[in-house]
Structure 1
Amino acid sequence: MLILGAGQVRQALDGAESEVVEAVRQAYRLHERGLTELPHSVFLRFPDSARNRIIGLPAYLGDDTPVAGIKWISSFPGNVAAGLERASAALILNSMRTGQPEALLEASVISARRTAASAALAAATLAPAGPQTGVSLIGCGVINFEVLVFLSALLPELDTVTVFDLDRSRAESFAARCTARLPGLKVTVADRVEDALAAHRLIALATTASTPHLAVESCRPGTLLLHLSLRDLTPETILAGVNIVDDADHVCREATSLHLTEQQVGNRDFITASLGEILADDGYRRDETALTIFSPFGLGILDLAVADLVRRTADHLGLGTRIPDFLPG
């Protein structure tokens, strides 16, 4: 059994944004071709703490070098006030020859970066006719920081960032961190969420909201909303937008904005396409007048793709701890 901690996972992934995006792109393409197995995620909730949850994401990713495994990720929003990370996770990779577990990886880093890579890939794939020079980040946590790093890698014209968080001091600290990591960007803190929504035609939502709360009238025509937190938008907003998802069957669950919309109208006709379909069709063009909404549920195949990249890089660099007697003899 190979065990890789958070520092080793970071070492394998730092500076590898292009490789991570390509792994995510390939996973979406394989999913579109039917070369994956993706059971519904399992949500463990707690009767006395509705905001907390732990999710199990089993998956299989086929092709020439198939991989199978499961991510077990918790989200405890109260951790942030205690100075802890909101999310923590572990991921197990299984042998496709014997089924035995053969690698255990710290997975919150993997989860954040595959989410960011998916968002950046969507921004590049659903790009408008002109350059994308600015982005608004609503929710100043780990996910949106990684989103900015990946957007900067895929959108070289990006030069301006507007950030907003309900906690002003958190937003200011986040802005300083962004500037330190990417000194070529101009980063400003918005006083109101409406100002952030109006600032740019590319917006990433990564909040801890559990119910719809956001009015989007301030958005410019032709805005692309990267709806990563999945529960910010009302059914009315979803119905008025052009909706792109990663997988309709997965995203229309667990009280997401799209699930609430499906329950309201009784169908999924409001979903235009999946990102995998668009990646397979070079002819797609974004509507420059409508609000386009990318709502990715976060498929376990993306975790597997990035985890396999980490494992291969770790093998090359000699990272990790190997426990030869982890399994019974």
Structure 2
Amino acid sequence: MDILWLNQSDVKSVLDMPSTLDAVESGFREHGLKKVQMPSKLYLYFDKHNGDLRTMPSFMEEKDIAGVKIVNVHPDNREKGLPTVMAVVILNSTETGAPLAMMDGTYLTDMRTGAAGGVAAKYLARPDSKVVGMVGIGGQARTQLMALAEVMDIEEVKLTCRNISHCDSFEKEMASITNCDFTWKDNIKDVCDCDILVTTTPVRTPIIRSEWIHEGTHINAIGADAMGKQELESSLLKRAKVIVDDIEQASHSGEVNVPLSTGDLLKSDIYAELGEVIAGVKPGRENDGDITIFDSTGLAIQDLVTADLVYRKALEKGIGQKMNMF
């Protein structure tokens, strides 16, 4: 039998942010309705090489689709000329279990993670939000801003990162996507004066102080995706309405994992999963003064619905290479 192989160029040619947003929102909704099978990520840690490998299987009952993503995170890869994150997604037939497609999951991961931030802002940010603050401007920051530009009218983007000169290339790349003003800030505190704050750093010591966050702010906390990572002060989580993508997974690898382990936060302090808000099981933002935090760890169901979207579009357009597997 044949399996469809889709490289990164193939994936990029068919995957755009509006369709990714729709797919990811549908995946979260089904997750909120408890209509998916999705074990938590399984991690293999390579301490000798400062990296890890993760497997992420899922099955979506509504669309009758199943698959698994295999993804690494190796921060030192840039010195070797390789991406920090690389991934492969395999789609499987639910009827026979046979693989249907294998595709690059690196660009797909960036897009579906950005889309998750966009969906979260759609449901949790104030409707009149205009100013975005971004702490960290790596690859993930780009798709976060792409998604936000689809769900809100951005007037200003405030940027900061470890090397402020990198803001220039980020602004030049994103200016065509978001027709707004860009301002560079030397310190994180100034960036926190915004309507929507996006954090995409790999830090293990919090860099966002509670006192810097105004009432009414929505935060997409993207960087903490493994045990020990934390971008926000624990006291900020206590002030806010915390919405995670998945409680079990976030508890051991999300923004909440450290404060839960130290007892500074209890599981009962977590307000909801994003899918529950989207499905109407729980309300999202209830007033303009709420501080809302979306703790994004990245769900296998996001990969699955996005990979299915890529697969269907590739078949329609005759893209990819068929390879005989068995």
* Pairwise same-fold verdict (TM > 0.5): yes
1:56 aligned residue = 55
2:110 aligned residue = 112
Q: Secondary structure at the match of 2:5?
A: strand
1:207 aligned residue = 201
1:269 aligned residue = 268
Q: CA RMSD in A?
A: 1.8
1: CA distance, partners of 2:111 / 2:47: 30
2:33 aligned residue = 33
Correspondence 1:187 to 2:187: no
Structure 1 contact 197–218 (Cα < 8 Å) conserved = yes
| Structure 1 residue identity aligned to 2:71 | I
Structure 1 pair 276/101, CA: closer, same or farther in 2 (3 Å)? Answer: same
1:321 aligned residue = 321
Pairwise CA distance, 1:297? 1.7
Pairwise CA distance, 1:315? 0.5
Structure 1 contact 178–187 (Cα < 8 Å) conserved = no
Structure 1 contact 35–62 (Cα < 8 Å) conserved = yes
1:8 aligned residue = 10
The C-alpha deviation readout for 1:147-197, integer Å capped at 9, x for no partner, is 111111111x21211111112222222122112x32622112111111111
| Structure 1 residue identity aligned to 2:185 | A
TM-score normalised by the chain length of structure 1 = 0.91
Name whichever of 298-307 and 273-282 sits farther off: 273-282
1:75 aligned residue = 73
- Aligned identity (percent) is 26
Structure 1 contact 213–233 (Cα < 8 Å) conserved = yes
Aligned partner (choices 115, 129, 132) of residue 129 of structure 2: 132
The C-alpha deviation readout for 1:235-265, integer Å capped at 9, x for no partner, is 22222221011111111013x4312222233
Question: Tell me, which stretches of 5 or more residues in structure 2 are unaligned?
Answer: 225-229
Pairwise CA distance, 1:82? 5.0
Correspondence 1:163 to 2:153: no
1:251 aligned residue = 250
Pairwise CA distance, 1:93? 0.7
1: CA distance, partners of 2:287 / 2:242: 11
2: CA distance, partners of 1:288 / 1:140: 28
1: CA distance, partners of 2:178 / 2:133: 17
The C-alpha deviation readout for 1:195-235, integer Å capped at 9, x for no partner, is 1112x120111112234333242222211110011221232
Name whichever of 294-303 and 216-225 sits farther off: 216-225
Question: Tell me, which stretches of 5 or more residues in structure 1 are unaligned?
Answer: none
Q: Secondary structure at the match of 1:168?
A: coil
Alignment size in residue pairs: 317
1: CA distance, partners of 2:279 / 2:312: 27
